[in-house]
């Protein structure tokens, strides 16, 4: 997929449209807002599970990822069709790195049609229950994924995994207490783009 480990993140965009009251444009704007775009999933499986309706590489705006410190121009599709389930993924490299001072984080955002309960069962030894903007979630941190902080958010179709890898700028391990520094804010921002 990438040269380094992959991990996940997100951020927030606000779209503002203005019309003067009573104008003909107001009706069109209301009709437009009421119509949601539904994209045909790039990958489907034969499992009978719900189709994955959130596509990280297309549904997270590039400018949001860039503002969060990731190189959206170099994002890579990271899909995982498995037959019995599907994951649509997008990998990002971080842009902030000053040797000896600041590290860089790489992200992988994956949307899949497995349940939060299935994820908890698989990673029970490193998972703790959490909530992001009121959405049920898991926080996964542990020796299985060294220097990685992972949030798993529940959706109507399954889950979205946001996995961030700390690309250290020094030899030796990064203390586990630093793996998730500041990540919840990023996850909270990207959560707003997940439409159920």
Q: What percent of the chain has pLDDT over 70?
A: 72
Task: Decide which of 88 and 47 is more confident.
Answer: 88
Structural domain for 93, as ranges: 24-191
Where b means 16+ CB within 10 Å and e means fewer, 130-159 reads: bebeebebbbbbeeebebbbbbbbbbebbb
Q: Is the pLDDT of residue 152 over 90?
A: yes
Report yes or no on 3 lying in a domain.
Answer: no
Q: What is the pTM of this model?
A: 0.75
Cα–Cα distance for residue pair 20/162, rounded to 1 Å:
40
Cα–Cα distance for residue pair 184/180, rounded to 1 Å:
7
pLDDT score at 45:
62
Counted domains in the chain: 1
Mean pLDDT, rounded, for 121-138:
96
Report yes or no on 93 lying in a domain.
Answer: yes
Report yes or no on 63 lying in a domain.
Answer: yes
Count of CB atoms situated within 10 Å of the CB of 7: 29
Mean pLDDT, rounded, for 127-137:
97
Cα–Cα distance for residue pair 25/15, rounded to 1 Å:
17
- CATH code assigned at 158: 3.40.1000
Q: How far apart are the first and last CA of the chain?
A: 27
Report yes or no on 109 lying in a domain.
Answer: yes
pLDDT score at 25:
36
Where b means 16+ CB within 10 Å and e means fewer, 109-120 reads: bbbbbbbbeebe
3-class SS at 139?
strand
Report yes or no on 89 lying in a domain.
Answer: yes
Count of CB atoms situated within 10 Å of the CB of 89: 22
Q: What is the mean pLDDT of the chain?
A: 77
pLDDT score at 1:
39
Task: Decide which of 73 and 130 is more confident.
Answer: 130
Task: Supply the Cα-derived Rg of the chain in whole angstroms.
Answer: 18
Q: Is the pLDDT of residue 100 over 80?
A: no
Local confidence band at 3 (pLDDT 50, 70, 90 cut-offs): very low
pLDDT in tens, 31-46: 333 334 556 666 666 6
pLDDT score at 11:
28
pLDDT score at 2:
40
Count of CB atoms situated within 10 Å of the CB of 96: 11
pLDDT score at 195:
82
pLDDT in tens, 82-91: 778 889 999 9
Q: Is the pLDDT of residue 151 over 90?
A: yes
């Amino acid at each position: 997929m990438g040269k380094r480990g992959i991990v996940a993140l997100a951020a927030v965009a606000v779209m503002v449209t203005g019309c003067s009251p009573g104008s003909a444009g107001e009706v069109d704007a209301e009709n437009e807002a009421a119509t949601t775009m539904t994209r045909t999933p790039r990958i489907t499986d034969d499992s009978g599970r719900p189709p994955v309706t959130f596509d990280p590489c297309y549904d997270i705006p590039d400018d949001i990822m860039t503002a969060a410190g990731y190189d959206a121009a170099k994002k890579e599709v990271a899909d995982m069709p498995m037959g019995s389930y599907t994951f649509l993924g997008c990998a990002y490299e971080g842009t902030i790195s000053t040797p000896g001072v600041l590290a860089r984080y790489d992200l992988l955002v994956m949307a899949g049609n497995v349940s939060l309960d299935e994820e908890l069962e698989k990673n029970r030894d490193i998972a703790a229950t959490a909530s992001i903007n009121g959405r049920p979630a898991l926080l996964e941190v542990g020796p299985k994924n060294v220097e990685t902080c992972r949030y798993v958010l529940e959706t109507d179709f399954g889950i979205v995994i946001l996995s961030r890898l700390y690309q250290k700028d020094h030899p030796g391990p990064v203390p586990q207490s630093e793996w998730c520094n500041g990540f919840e804010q990023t996850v909270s921002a990207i959560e707003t783009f997940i439409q159920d």
